Amino acid sequence: MAQKPTAKKTVAEDPRHTQALQSYEAGLRAMQEHKFDKAKPYFQKVLAGPSKELVDRAHVHLSICTQHLERSEATQFKTAEEHFDYAVSLMNVGDYVTAREHLEKLLKQNAKADYVVYGLAALDCLTGHVEDSLRHLDEALRLNSQLRFQARNDSDFQNLAEDPRFTELLYPDPGAELGSSDGGLGEEEPV
């Protein structure tokens, strides 16, 4: 007695199903590479396919692609200050790794941005990188001495409160700012 061909065999032979499956697989590959903008059209092609199971899966993946694309659009900043505020918000919720990525990106765009260098000093202090924190704070204060007043009351620097090097940065000798070019290590000669 001969058996009738099963539905699976018929589906596998359907060129529309094969094309939908290929589009679905291409969409998955693009998603795995975090290329959500390229994955989306592949999943949209699957929606027109004959397989309800693939269509359902494609809907889920389309939703994920859309969410990722919206998130990436939300993190495009109009100004450097807006970008900096975002990095600070990441620091405030404890996402130090991502905050550092954003601060370093900002610093590459503008190495003289005192507030970015100050932000790195605060982040370094929060993450226990004392030497880096002191170095960044010193650099930020050289770029903008007014940051000294902010640092005195900034709770992000509480780990450095007892460090004499921190105190020296925030409360320098009154004559030191007038400027020895050797970084304050020797006495300045009268002119």
Can you give the pLDDT of all 191 residues of the chain as single tens digits?
555 555 555 555 788 889 999 999 999 998 888 888 898 899 899 888 888 998 999 889 988 888 877 776 556 788 889 889 989 988 988 889 989 999 999 999 998 999 999 999 999 999 999 999 999 999 999 999 999 999 999 999 999 999 999 999 999 877 655 554 444 444 444 44
Q: Would you state the pLDDT for residue 131?
A: 96
Q: Are residues 103 and 146 in the same domain?
A: yes
Helices 80-92 and 114-126 sit at what angle, rounded to 10 degrees? 10
Give CA angle at 152 (137, 162), nearest 5°: 80
Q: Would you state the pLDDT for residue 126?
A: 94
Give residues with Cβ within 8 angstroms of 127, minimum separation 6: 96
Q: What is the domain count for the chain?
A: 2
8 A C-beta contact, residue 90 and residue 122: no
For residue 15, which amino acid is it?
P
Q: Are residues 92 and 152 in the same domain?
A: yes
User: For residue 88, what are its two tokens?
Assistant: 């600070």
* 55 occurs within a structural domain: yes
Q: Are residues 115 and 33 in the same domain?
A: no
* 190 occurs within a structural domain: no
Residue 156: DSSP 8-state: G
Which residue bears the tokens 């009351």? 153
Q: Would you state the pLDDT for residue 70?
A: 75
Q: The domain containing residue 41 runs over which residues?
A: 7-74
Dihedral angle over CA of 135, 85, 91, 93, nearest 10:
170
* 96 occurs within a structural domain: yes
DSSP helix/strand/coil, 181? coil
Q: Are residues 67 and 130 in the same domain?
A: no
Q: Are residues 86 and 173 in the same domain?
A: yes
Domain boundary among 49, 74, 99: 74
Q: Are residues 55 and 90 in the same domain?
A: no
Q: Are residues 88 and 170 in the same domain?
A: yes
Q: Are residues 91 and 164 in the same domain?
A: yes
